[in-house]
Amino acid sequence: MSEIKSSETLKKKARAAASKPAAVGEDIDLSAFVGEAEPQSYRADASQLPARAKEQMLGVGVMLDDMGQRTGTYIQTNNTPVHTSATQEGIEVMAVSQAMKKYDWLSDYFWKAVAVDTDKYTASVELGQYDGYFFRALPGVKSQYPVQACLYLAKAQLAQKVHNIIIAEEGSELHIITGCTTALREEPGLHIGVSEFFIKKGAKVTFTMIHSWNPATAVRPRTVAIVEENGLFLSNYVLMRPVRSIQMYPTARCVGENAVVRFNSILVAGPGSSLDIGSRVILNAKGAKTEIISRAITTGGSIVARGYVEGNAPDVKGHLECRGLILHKEGIIHAIPELKGTLAGVDLSHEAAVGKIAEEEVEYLMARGLTRTEATATIVRGFLRVDIEGLPPLLGAELQRAVEASEKELM
């Protein structure tokens, strides 16, 4: 734990919300987890981390042996930052605790996007003064390669708590890959990650998050992005490995004219996994646009796939698309797309479809000579292939690789 300053008002709010359950999803008993782990030693050279850890991190897109294609790196094991580095002028990568020492103004960003009293999970992060990553692109600077972060859970029964601040100053461009994974094979753990994004005028942030947990982990990310005039926030989330329970509903608020937000999610729930995952966009400024796309597959687990778009300004446009495939008789997918318009002139739409693979499509491929198994695999692979507009080709290829690596287990 670090020396993070906090106002008494925030503390008070957090204390009041200390036992407030989340608005949706399974309630996690925080007292079942420990908040402390033995401190980890700092590694100036991230390639010196244990081979198994590096391999697991690579599985979620975090490359430590060859960082030539990364502009910066942040690694946190349990609740301790163990490595930070940055190679491009104007792109800052630090632990939040370090950044607080450097910049007095940073405390103004704390809990500005995410409400500290959202629920007991956000409250517990505030009350414990947890660390996390600080990524910032200075005005006009464009990250040549992505910055990467890994949040690594390595102690059984631990509650890993993280508070991240991401700032893209005016006209900048920041590409981020975050991989969250665990060293534990079957022991329980809890991950709570608060992420606050500030996307200033004309800035662009792409955020690609890959999760790979174990069947006993509970996960409660809390993310809000504030997007200013002509800003772009593009978020991609991939979860294809088993987990016990994830509940998250990342939100973007378009506060400046013509801000654009896109959320793409690829979700797979195996037996025993319970996912309650959505994306929410509030269009509060003229001409703001959003597109939310989710693809959900259950092979026996339960998925609540939410989506919410709210239009509160003229000429805003939003589209929600949620498609679910049930590949096992015990799987459940509950799609809940919601639209709210509060004035004339908003253009909001959604489409949702849940079901099995269409037999007509399987037979079409079989008529070309593919076996039933090959045809089904091809269709599932296609289902998970989301062409993401605006994602740099390198990131697109990495995302595709992560999906393909997990597909093999899925088939």
Q: Strands, E, within 312-346: which ranges?
A: 317-326, 332-341
Nearest distance from C-beta of residue 311 to another protein, angstroms: 27
Q: Note whether 364 binds another protein by CB under 8 A.
A: yes
Q: Note whether 369 binds another protein by CB under 8 A.
A: yes
Spatial separation of the C-alpha atoms in residues 142 and 70, rounded to whole Å: 13
CB atoms near residue 246 (< 10 Å) = 24
Q: Which is nearer to another protein, 104 or 387 (CB)?
A: 387
To the nearest 10 degrees (0 to 180), the angle between helices 120-128 and 8-16 is 140
Per-residue interface string for the shown chain with another protein, residues 266-305, x marking contact by CB under 8 A: ----------------------------------------
Q: Note whether 325 binds another protein by CB under 8 A.
A: no
Q: Cβ(250)–Cβ(279) under 8 Å? A: yes
Chain-centroid distance of CA 282 in Å reads 18
Binding window for another protein (CB under 8 A); candidates: 27-35, 84-92, 300-308, 381-389? 381-389
Which CA distances in Å does 314 have to 253, 262, 283, 346, 389?
15, 19, 9, 6, 24
Q: Note whether 372 binds another protein by CB under 8 A.
A: yes
Q: Which is nearer to another protein, 226 or 293 (CB)?
A: 293
Nearest distance from C-beta of residue 367 to another protein, angstroms: 6
Q: Which is nearer to another protein, 19 or 349 (CB)?
A: 349
Q: Cβ(297)–Cβ(268) under 8 Å? A: yes
Total residues belonging to the chain:
411
Out of 140, 314, 345, 382, name the contact with another protein by CB under 8 A. 382
Q: Note whether 42 binds another protein by CB under 8 A.
A: no
CB atoms near residue 304 (< 10 Å) = 18
Q: Note whether 370 binds another protein by CB under 8 A.
A: yes
Counting residues that bind another protein (by CB under 8 A) gives 24
Out of 365, 388, 391, 399, name the contact with another protein by CB under 8 A. 365
Q: Note whether 39 binds another protein by CB under 8 A.
A: no
Out of 58, 156, 366, 410, name the contact with another protein by CB under 8 A. 366
Spatial separation of the C-alpha atoms in residues 352 and 337, rounded to whole Å: 7
Binding window for another protein (CB under 8 A); candidates: 54-62, 205-213, 270-278, 359-367? 359-367
* Residue 193, phi then psi, degrees to nearest 5: -125, 115
Out of 100, 106, 147, 384, name the contact with another protein by CB under 8 A. 384
Q: Note whether 138 binds another protein by CB under 8 A.
A: no
Tokens of 43: 């590694």
Binding window for another protein (CB under 8 A); candidates: 107-115, 184-192, 329-337, 383-391? 383-391
Residue 368: what residue type?
A: R
* Beta strand 159-168 pairing with 133-137: parallel
Nearest distance from C-beta of residue 405 to another protein, angstroms: 17
To the nearest 10 degrees (0 to 180), the angle between helices 372-384 and 393-410 is 140
Nearest distance from C-beta of residue 310 to another protein, angstroms: 27
* Beta strand 80-86 pairing with 72-77: antiparallel
Site for another protein in 339-358 (CB under 8 A): 358
Spatial separation of the C-alpha atoms in residues 122 and 348, rounded to whole Å: 31
Nearest distance from C-beta of residue 178 to another protein, angstroms: 25
Q: Note whether 98 binds another protein by CB under 8 A.
A: no
CB atoms near residue 192 (< 10 Å) = 25
Nearest distance from C-beta of residue 368 to another protein, angstroms: 5
To the nearest 10 degrees (0 to 180), the angle between helices 372-384 and 359-366 is 120
Q: Which positions lie near another protein, rule CB under 8 A?
A: 323, 358, 360-361, 363-372, 374-375, 378-379, 381-386
